[in-house]
Amino acid sequence: MQIKAMRDVFLAALYEEMENDKSIFFLAADFGSPILDKIRAQYPSRFINVGIAEQNLINVATGLALEGFKVFAYAIAPFITMRCFEQIRVNVSVLSSIREMNINIIGVGAGVSYAMSGPTHHCLEDLSIMRTLPNIEVFSPSDYVTAEMYVKRALSMQTPKYIRFDAQPLGALREDIIEFDKGFDVLHRGQKVAIISTGYMSHKAITMAKDLNVTLIDLYLINQYDHAKLKEALHEFDTLVTLEEAFANSGGLDAEINFHFKDKKIINLGFDKKYTFDIGSREFIHQHNGLGMERIKMILMENVL
C-alpha cells in the first residue's frame, strides 16, 4: 500500500494547475514543504510568505480573492483557525455573503497528527468553530486520494473553504472516484450499527468495521454533504456511532449527526474534554483520552451483540 501525505499530493496537483491557470495565488505563514519550494521557485509572482502572521495571512488572502484570484492560504491548523478566527469570520464568512470569493484556508495538523508537539499543536477544536461560520465549506479528508481530487473542486467553487489535512502520511481508503456532491463514502457495509467518522479516525475504524461487520461511512464534507443521501444510507440502522479526533460533544462531527438524526440512538466518541500533556504515539494519546482502540471496540461490540 502506498502511503502519502495529503498536503503533498494536494500541493502537487495544485502546482500542475498553476501552469495554465494564472489566477491561482498561494500564501503561506512561514510554513513549508518540498513541493511548496517548487511552487515558490516556479511561480514567485504568485507566492507570498507573510511570515508567522496568520491574521495578516487571512487579510491578504481576502484582498486577493476580492480581486478575482483563486487564493490558497496555508498554515498549521490550530493557528490558521484559532489565532485568526475573527479575521475569518469578518473578512471571509461575513464578506462572502455579499461578495463572491474563492478563498481556500488550508490547515495542516488535524487532530493530534502532531502527536509529539503537545497541546499547542493539537487541533481538537477546529471542526467545532469552523462549523459555526456560514458560507464556508469544511473539507476533512481521510486519505490522499480524496485530498488530490479536491483540487479541481476548490478551483471551480467561487466560495470559501476550510481544508483540514492530517500531518502524517496515510494510506488510501478508496479508489479515485469521489462524488463530492454527495460528501461521504461508504467504506464498508455491515449490519446493526453504522459508524460515521472523518479524517484519521476512518483509518482507525476500517479494521474494526470489517472485524465486527458494521457499516463505516467516511464523511469528508462536514457541512455540505447530501443530507438526503446520507439519510438513505443510514435508514436501516437504529444505532449510530460518531468517531472524530476532536473534543466529544463540542459542536463538531457529532453535533452535525445528532441534529439531523434525532430518531436514532447515537453514541458520540471523541476526546475527553481536557487538554493532554501526554507525549507519545498517536494511539498512546488516544488511549489516555477516551479514544483508545479497545474502548471503541468494546462499545461497538456492546451494540452489535
The mean of the pLDDT values for the chain is 95
Question: Could you tell me the pTM of the whole model?
Answer: 0.96
Read off the pLDDT of residues 137-153 as tens digits, 9 standing for 90 and up.
999 999 999 999 999 99
- Percentage of the chain modeled with pLDDT above 90: 94
Q: Are 185 and 218 in contact (CB under 8 A)?
A: yes
pLDDT at 1 over 80: no
Grid cell locating 46: 504568485
- Pairwise CA distance, residues 81 & 5, whole Å: 20
pLDDT at 80 over 80: yes
Read off the pLDDT of residues 25-76 as tens digits, 9 standing for 90 and up.
999 998 778 899 999 999 999 999 999 999 999 999 999 999 999 999 999 9
- Pairwise CA distance, residues 104 & 150, whole Å: 11
Read off the pLDDT of residues 226-266 as tens digits, 9 standing for 90 and up.
999 999 999 999 999 999 999 999 999 999 999 999 999 99
- Residue 147: per-residue pLDDT: 97
Instruction: Indicate if the alpha-carbon torsion angle 259, 119, 111, 237 is positive or negative.
Output: negative
- Pairwise CA distance, residues 15 & 13, whole Å: 5
- Residue 99: per-residue pLDDT: 96
What domains can be seen in the chain, in order of their start residue?
3-170 (3.40.50.970), 181-304 (3.40.50.920)
> Residues with Cβ < 8 Å from 202, sequence gap 6 or more?
142, 143, 173, 187, 216, 218, 243
pLDDT at 20 over 70: yes
Alpha-carbon distances, residue 1 vs 61, 140, 173, 174 (angstroms): 37, 22, 10, 12
Average pLDDT of the segment spanning 285-293? 95
Average pLDDT of the segment spanning 87-116? 97
- Pairwise CA distance, residues 194 & 188, whole Å: 10
H/E stretch holding 188 reads strand 184-188
- Residue 267: per-residue pLDDT: 97
Read off the pLDDT of residues 173-187 as tens digits, 9 standing for 90 and up.
997 778 899 999 999
- Residue 305: per-residue pLDDT: 63
